């Protein structure tokens, strides 16, 4: 053994493996790196831009079985904050830190290959933490989904300058959707993922306030009020449903903070009052249409009747009507460069059906 190697071995034995980057000095300027250092360098190479983090986190949620992913993002003074909330299988408490270690994965038998390469080698979260200021699990438990927060200094890890433009989507020869034009920004990363996972995973992208409003609206339609009677702690609910249990603005603020979203009292009141509308999914917005067809009404008597309170229409029929109206709206939207903000609202009164569209102008 050479004097250099003997010195390395001596220092390693005295100070521990973690203090050295080199396992063996091979001479002539060559060295053999330790596994930990090689992994660190690979991780640095894996993530080149903020948009790479977005794709890796979306893939991670998808592989955890998520069918809904909510991405809240904001930037202040060069610092980009990303919050990923999903309804996947969740992470046990004792693994909240360890999932960011190299080669740690839950996909021993289910490694996935997609357009971005192999996923499941246990390096994605490790790579993200190596390149970010902060990467951590905010809230998660088995079968409860997850909320994960990533904070990036864009002076160290760049992102596209234009983060507001949405891409143009077209169909290829096989009928699959793809992003044909637009900057390769966070929006496009989410759109590309949403187009590929069109029938399996919905993505919602917006500011923390918009995502909080969307989570609240979705939870309101999915959480059975009777279930809340048997819930002692909001953490017993899936992460994406927790805002549905908010009794007032103060409760809303506390619950949102528990999975990583900060809102003011005024914002909480506005969301509870319905003045901040929920987002449409990324796919729904970028494709300007519903991806599924409305199911035909079942044969037999229609659940439609009149009583002293006026007209009553079954919820499923209202939903089908809303989707049909939205599809018809698309021609007008294309002609005047409009887009829907949330789904059409259908209000049934004694002798009137009112449909309300909240719209925005395409920039």
Listed by start position, the domains of the chain span: 3-33, 43-205, 214-273, 290-361
Q: Which residue shows structure tokens 């995502």?
A: 211
pLDDT score at 103: 76
> Distance of alpha carbon 350 from its chain centroid, rounded?
40
3-state secondary structure at position 296: coil
What are 346's two structure tokens?
């259908």
pLDDT score at 307: 39
pLDDT score at 85: 98
pLDDT score at 137: 97
Tens digit of each residue's pLDDT, the chain (363 residues) = 456 555 555 555 555 444 456 666 766 665 565 666 656 655 556 789 999 999 999 999 998 999 999 999 999 999 999 999 999 999 999 999 988 887 777 765 556 667 776 666 677 888 899 999 999 999 999 999 999 999 999 999 999 999 999 999 999 888 889 999 999 999 999 999 999 998 789 999 999 999 999 999 999 777 665 565 556 678 889 999 999 889 899 999 999 999 999 999 999 999 999 999 999 999 999 987 544 443 444 444 434 333 334 566 766 677 677 777 777 777 777 777 777 676 677 777 666 788 887 777 655
pLDDT score at 294: 39
Distance CA 233, CA 220 (A): 18
Any long-range contacts for 37-46 (C-beta under 8 Å, 24+ apart)? 39/102, 39/103, 39/123, 39/126, 40/130, 42/123, 42/127, 43/102, 43/123, 43/126, 43/127, 43/130, 43/131, 44/127, 44/130, 44/131, 46/123, 46/124, 46/127
Distance CA 63, CA 116 (A): 13
Residue 218, burial from CB neighbour count under 10 angstroms (0-12, 13-18, 19+): buried
Beta strands in the chain (DSSP E): 22-27, 30-33, 68-76, 79-86, 112-114, 117-119, 134-140, 146-153, 168-171, 177-181, 202-206, 304-307, 310-313, 338-340, 345-348, 353-356, 359-361
What are 170's two structure tokens?
């077209």
Task: Output the CATH code of domain 43-205.
Answer: 3.30.565
> Distance of alpha carbon 283 from its chain centroid, rounded?
13
Q: Which residue shows structure tokens 């390469």?
A: 117
Q: What is the CA radius of gyration of the chain?
A: 25
pLDDT score at 105: 73
């Amino acid at each position: 053994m050479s004097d250099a190697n003997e010195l390395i071995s001596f220092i390693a034995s005295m100070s521990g493996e973690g203090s050295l980057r080199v396992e063996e000095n091979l001479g002539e300027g060559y060295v053999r790196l330790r596994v930990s250092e090689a992994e660190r360098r690979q991780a640095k190479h894996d993530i080149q831009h903020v948009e790479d983090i977005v794709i890796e986190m979306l893939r991670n949620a998808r592989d955890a079985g998520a069918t809904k992913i909510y991405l809240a993002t904001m930037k202040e003074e060069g610092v980009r904050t990303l919050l990923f909330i999903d309804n996947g299988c969740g992470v046990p408490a004792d693994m909240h830190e360890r999932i960011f270690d190299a080669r740690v994965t839950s996909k021993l038998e289910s490694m996935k290959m997609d357009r971005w390469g192999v996923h499941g080698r246990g390096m994605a979260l490790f790579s993200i933490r190596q390149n970010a200021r902060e990467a951590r699990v905010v809230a998660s438990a088995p079968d409860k989904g997850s909320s994960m927060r990533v904070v990036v200094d864009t002076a160290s890890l760049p992102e596209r300058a234009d983060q507001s433009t949405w891409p143009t989507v077209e169909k290829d020869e096989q009928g699959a959707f793809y992003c044909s034009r637009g900057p390769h920004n966070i929006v496009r990363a989410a759109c590309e993922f949403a187009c590929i996972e069109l029938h399996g995973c919905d993505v919602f992208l917006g500011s923390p306030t918009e995502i909080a409003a969307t989570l609240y609206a979705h939870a309101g339609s999915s959480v059975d009020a009777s279930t809340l009677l048997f819930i002692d702690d909001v953490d017993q609910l899936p992460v994406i449903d927790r805002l549905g249990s908010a009794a007032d603005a103060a409760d809303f603020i506390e619950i949102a903070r528990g999975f990583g979203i900060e809102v003011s009292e005024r914002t909480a009141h506005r969301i509870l009052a319905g003045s901040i509308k929920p987002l449409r999914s990324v796919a729904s917005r970028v494709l300007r249409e519903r991806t599924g067809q409305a199911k035909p009404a079942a044969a037999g008597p229609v659940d439609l009747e009149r009583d002293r309170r006026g007209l009553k229409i079954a919820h499923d029929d209202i939903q089908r009507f809303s989707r049909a109206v939205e599809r018809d709206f698309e021609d007008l939207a294309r002609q005047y460069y409009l887009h829907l903000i949330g789904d059409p609202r259908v209000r049934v009164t004694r002798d009137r059906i009112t449909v309300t569209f909240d719209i925005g102008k395409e920039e």
